[in-house]
Amino acid sequence: MSDQKYTVIIIGAGPAGIFAAMELTAKSKAKVLIIDKGSPLEERRCKTQKEYGRCLRCDPCAVTCGWGGAGAFSDGKLTLTPAFGGLLSEFIDQDLVESLIDEVDRVYLSFGAPEKVYGTDLEAVKEMERRAAAAGLNLIPAKIRHLGTENCYRILEKMHRTLLGRVDILMNKTVDELLYDNTSICGVRLSTGEVYEADYVICGPGRVGAEWMYRESNRLGLKGINNPVDIGVRVEVPAVIMENLTNQIYESKLIYFTKQFDDRIRTFCMNPYGVVVTENNEGLVTVNGHSFAETKTNNTNFALLVSKSFTEPFNEPIRYGRYIASLANMLGDGVIVQRLGDLLMGRRSTPERISRGLVRPTLSEATPGDLSLVLPYRYLLAIIEMLEALDKLAPGVSSRHTLLYGVEVKFYSYRLCLSRNLETAIKNLFAVGDGAGVTRGLIQASATGVIAARAIINRLQ
């Protein structure tokens, strides 16, 4: 083994890893090492899209990997409710989840998060709930603090400065294997062959590391369960159409069950006045959205995700999601964009048809095409039904000019069996954040880091 010995090794420099490190250094004398396969924050620049006009599938991706994780360039929504954004309520009491969310939110505020919180006008929210119900939609009320992409960057810079000198940080280093001595975790081996010993390991590899987490858990004999697979499209409409929702709630969490198949479809990651962007998930280009605090476009975008659970004998939901995304990459050399009107008429979109539309696409590199050649029939049907329901709540959403980008896939489909402290069946090995299938957003991911860190602090004491 190596003589490079630490008390705690944290895999992943996303919000879960950062908050774990801050908690450990504030309340213990633990020697901590953070390892991430991406770059330092100041070096995270996607040069290829600007130079070549498209994603070149760099490995690792500067957008999804590095200090701050994939959330570094997200629009930075802090969802101040246990109702969505993660599954923490399945591990610990609801009251404790709410307390942790409040605590983590205060930390973000101390690092410069804006004071404004959306969704506090209860009468307006109640009216939205009533209108949604009349359209066959379930609106889940939530308070949202919006950081904005540029504020995310500034906050992560400050957190990095806080940890400098208090922890060791290895960027641009990939963890290949977790090391286990048949009684407890004992360290990690990097892809370069270097070995680092540790008494405790916290795995927070993020969504981009979900497949690695799945492979390692299988190799180590750890049991887990499959979360539903989330696959769908990103919708882009004129911002004025959504203003009655976004001005009050900012991000509307709306759930719909389809008439024919009873499939669950939901809105996700709503970005008022935002932009559609691409993500490189280990060679697969998928679609996402951002919203800035200081810069606005004329469009609003949001995802529509269909949730599907699989039964035996199939047991590889991440592989299934990657396969669907690969079809879009095959046909469109990346992300495909299609007008809703073209989809309904059974024809592909062309550059000319897109240019005649009322919605100017904010993702210029998307290839006009036909999403019906990519998404299964029941997914398309769910998306069309959901848009028709949304049109009753926000007239104009189901316009023939509405743009659909595909595919959007969320790779957090495998969840390890964990204790209430988020510890695996291997002693002193913890799994946190989106990559462990436990969370789906910044606030609960950050909270998981705190939970694991506190469990370790208690043992050290």
The predicted-structure confidence for 26-62, as pLDDT tens digits, reads as follows 999 999 999 999 999 999 887 655 555 677 788 888 8
Q: What is the pLDDT of residue 248?
A: 86
State how far the Cα of 159 lies from the Cα of 168, in Å rounded to an integer: 14
Q: Taking the domains of the chain in order of start, what are their residue ranges?
A: 5-123+147-225+414-460, 228-410
Question: Could you tell me if 405 and 177 are in contact, meaning their C-beta atoms sit under 8 angstroms apart?
Answer: no
CA distances from residue 236 to 142, 277, 318, 337, 361 in whole angstroms, order as listed: 22, 11, 26, 10, 8
pLDDT digits 0-9 by tens, 307-362:
888 777 877 777 888 899 999 999 999 999 999 999 999 999 999 999 999 999 99
Q: What is the pLDDT of residue 325?
A: 92
State how far the Cα of 12 lies from the Cα of 15, in Å rounded to an integer: 9
State how far the Cα of 128 lies from the Cα of 245, in Å rounded to an integer: 8
Beta bridge partners of 88: none
Model confidence at 150, in pLDDT bands (50, 70, 90)? confident
Q: Are strands 429-431 and 168-170 parallel, antiparallel or unpaired?
A: unpaired
Average pLDDT over residues 252-269: 94
Q: What is the pLDDT of residue 48?
A: 58
pLDDT above 50: residue 280:
yes
Q: Tokens standing for 206?
A: 């993020």
pLDDT above 70: residue 1:
no
Give kind and range of the element (H or E) at residue 192: none
pTM of the model: 0.89
Which residues, 6 or more positions from 345, have their beta carbon under 8 angstroms from its beta carbon? none
**What single letter denotes the amino acid at residue 119?**
G
pLDDT above 80: residue 305:
yes
- Report the mean per-residue pLDDT for the chain: 92
Residue 171 half-sphere exposure, CB side, CA atoms within 13 Å?
16
State how far the Cα of 448 lies from the Cα of 87, in Å rounded to an integer: 10
pLDDT digits 0-9 by tens, 362-376:
999 999 999 999 999
Omega prior to 60 cis, within 30 of 0: yes
Average pLDDT over residues 253-268: 95
pLDDT above 90: residue 448:
yes
Q: What is the pLDDT of residue 11?
A: 98
Q: What is the pLDDT of residue 455?
A: 98
State how far the Cα of 229 lies from the Cα of 268, in Å rounded to an integer: 14
Give 395's DSSP letter. Answer: T
Q: What is the pLDDT of residue 282?
A: 77
pLDDT digits 0-9 by tens, 381-433:
999 999 999 999 999 999 999 999 999 998 766 788 999 999 999 999 999 99
CATH level 3 topology of 5-123+147-225+414-460: FAD/NAD(P)-binding domain (3.50.50)
Mapped to the 3 state alphabet, what secondary structure does 105-133 carry? HHHHHHCCCCCCCECCCHHHHHHHHHHHH
Q: Tokens standing for 386?
A: 């959901």
Q: What sign has the CA pseudo-torsion 94, 98, 99, 101?
A: positive
